[in-house]
Amino acid sequence: MSTENLPSFAALAVGEIVATRRVEVTRDTLVRYAGASGDFNPIHYNDVFAESVGLPGVIAHGMFTMGAAASVVEEWAGPGNVVDFQSRFTRPVPVPNPGQAIVDITAKVGALDSDTRVARIDVDVVYDGAKVLGKAQALVECA
- pTM, two decimal places: 0.94
**Residue 122 resides in a domain:** yes
Strands, E assignment, the chain: 17-25, 82-89, 101-113, 118-127, 130-131, 133-141
**Residue 94 resides in a domain:** yes
Q: How many domains does the chain fold into? A: 1
**Residue 75 resides in a domain:** yes
pLDDT in tens, 78-123: 999 999 999 999 999 999 999 999 999 999 999 999 999 999 999 9
Which CATH number covers residue 70?
3.10.129.10
**Residue 31 resides in a domain:** no
pLDDT in tens, 3-60: 668 999 999 999 999 999 999 999 999 999 999 999 999 999 999 999 999 999 999 9
Q: What is the pLDDT of residue 5?
A: 83
Which letter does DSSP use for residue 136 in this model? Answer: E
**Residue 46 resides in a domain:** no
What is the domain extent for residue 81? 9-25+62-141
**Residue 70 resides in a domain:** yes
The closest of 67, 82, 75 to 37, measured between CA atoms, is 67
Distances in Å between the Cα of 94 and the Cα atoms of 33, 52, 97, 141 are 15, 14, 10, 34
**Residue 15 resides in a domain:** yes
**Residue 48 resides in a domain:** no
